[in-house]
Amino acid sequence: MPRFFSNKRLILLLVGVIVLVALISFSLRDRQNATLPEQLVKDVVGFGQTLFSKPTHFLTGTLSKIDGILNTYEENKHLKARLQEYASTQSELVDIKADNKKLRDIIGKQESLRDYEPIQATVISRNPDQWEEKVIIDKGTEHGVRMNMAVITANGLIGKVVLEAKFKSTVELLTTENPNFRVAAVIPGEKPVFGLIEGYDAERDELIMKRIDSNFDIKEGQKVESSGLGGIFPKGLLIGEVTKVSTDDFGLTKLAYIRPAANFSMLDHVMVANRLSKTNDGTDGKDSSSDEGEDES
């Protein structure tokens, strides 16, 4: 009996080998087309792969989209911050360009100051109730500022110092309504025309030049400057230009309306003119303090 089973195992082994060889021969005979078992196996495996791959691809794509949205949000937030920074930088650049232009104008004006020493100053305060009358600057007696010194911008004369302190001073503007505020002025030409800037027409937004000899012929567009005859202001500071000429109330003298050269509504960088020439009493204007008060006639 044991021998019989041993022979049976040998026979099964041989049959298996034969079948395996036959299958190998059959599969090698045509590799362009899959066999039926292979097709079944491939179809079953492919179906399983499809069941797992589609949800996996869907989940992977969704996560990728969420990640993209989060990245886009962060990038958008970063770009907005950069945009705000860019806008702020642009605003600062505009201010810097404006300040640079004003300072360049002041430097250009400073080069032509032969009769007085300029003291650079900045407007630090302006009372809304006295907007057209007074401003406060950040320079005082410690910096050489004295009473009645002329104050100018790069465009022209704006007023004079009426109150001095150690580190700041008060400047009264040409547009003041103070009747005692006068500036000796001249209209340059072959025959200079002299007069006084005294008064301000708020409706026309112009200065008034009075006490002009009626024999002189004045034309619109002529320039008006400080004459220097008052002994306080240096000569040649631009005040403005003539826009209209008429006679005074008594018809004895002429008066002229002057459009100011300086912009009184936008005052920031200014210069105090420390006059170096000799005053009427023979003293050095740099070291003396005038006692003429408000009247420069």
DSSP string spanning the chain? -HHHHHHHHHHHHHHHHHHHHHHHHHHHH--SS--HHHHHHHHHHHHHHHHHHHHHHHHHHHHHHHHHHHHHHHHHHHHHHHHHHHHHHHHHHHHHHHHHHHHHHHHHHHTT--SEEEEEEEEEE--GGGTTTEEEES--GGGT--TT-EEE-SS-EEEEEEEE-SS-EEEEETT---TT--EEEEE-SSS-EEEEEEEEETTTTEEEEEEEETTS---TT-EEEE-STTSSSPTT-EEEEEEEEEE-TTSSEEEEEEEESS-TTS--EEEEEEE-SB-TTSSBTTT-----TT---
Domain count, the chain: 2
Of 111, 132, 147, the domain-final residue: 111
Mean of pLDDT values over 261-271: 90
Could you tell me the CATH number of the domain that includes residue 224? 2.40.10.350
Instruction: For residue 89, tell me if it sits in a domain.
Output: yes
Who contacts 279 (Cβ-Cβ below 8 Å, separation ≥6)?
231, 285, 288, 290
Give the closest residue to 134 by CA, choosing from 287, 270, 256. 270
How many Cα atoms within 13 Å fall on the side-chain side of residue 184? Answer: 15
pLDDT tens readout for residues 160-174: 999 999 999 999 999
Range with top average pLDDT, 24-28, 86-90, 235-239: 235-239
Mean of pLDDT values over 17-23: 77
Higher per-residue pLDDT: 66 or 135? 135
Range in 46-50, 91-95, 100-104, 138-142 with the lowest mean pLDDT: 46-50
**Residue found by looking up tokens 């008066």 in the block:** 255
Residue 145 has pLDDT above 60, yes or no: yes
Q: What per-residue confidence (pLDDT) applies to 54?
A: 67
Residue 66 has pLDDT above 90, yes or no: no
**Residue found by looking up tokens 């002041």 in the block:** 106
> pLDDT band at 244, cuts 50/70/90?
very high
Instruction: For residue 257, tell me if it sits in a domain.
Output: yes
> pLDDT band at 196, cuts 50/70/90?
very high
- Average pLDDT of the residues of the chain: 78
Instruction: For residue 235, tell me if it sits in a domain.
Output: yes
Instruction: For residue 82, tell me if it sits in a domain.
Output: yes
Instruction: Please give the share of the chain, as a percent, with pLDDT higher than 70.
Output: 75
Of 83, 111, 139, the domain-final residue: 111
Q: What per-residue confidence (pLDDT) applies to 223?
A: 93
Q: What per-residue confidence (pLDDT) applies to 247?
A: 86
d(CA 226, CA 233): 7
Mean of pLDDT values over 50-79: 75
Instruction: For residue 166, tell me if it sits in a domain.
Output: no
> pLDDT band at 279, cuts 50/70/90?
very low
Radius of gyration of the chain (CA): 48
Give the number of other Cβ atoms within 10 Å of residue 283's Cβ. 12
Residue 292 has pLDDT above 60, yes or no: no
Of 111, 127, 151, the domain-final residue: 111
Q: What per-residue confidence (pLDDT) applies to 14?
A: 82
d(CA 230, CA 238): 15
d(CA 149, CA 285): 10
Instruction: For residue 149, tell me if it sits in a domain.
Output: no
Instruction: For residue 104, tell me if it sits in a domain.
Output: yes
Range in 3-12, 94-103, 176-185, 253-262 with the lowest mean pLDDT: 3-12
Partners of 253 in the beta sheet?
213
pLDDT tens readout for residues 97-135: 777 777 767 666 655 544 688 999 999 998 887 777 899
Instruction: For residue 28, tell me if it sits in a domain.
Output: no
> pLDDT band at 157, cuts 50/70/90?
very high
d(CA 62, CA 54): 12
Residue 280 has pLDDT above 60, yes or no: no
> pLDDT band at 285, cuts 50/70/90?
very low
Contact 160, 174 (CB under 8 A): no
Residues, the chain, total? 297
Residue 277 has pLDDT above 60, yes or no: no
Domain span including residue 236? 183-263
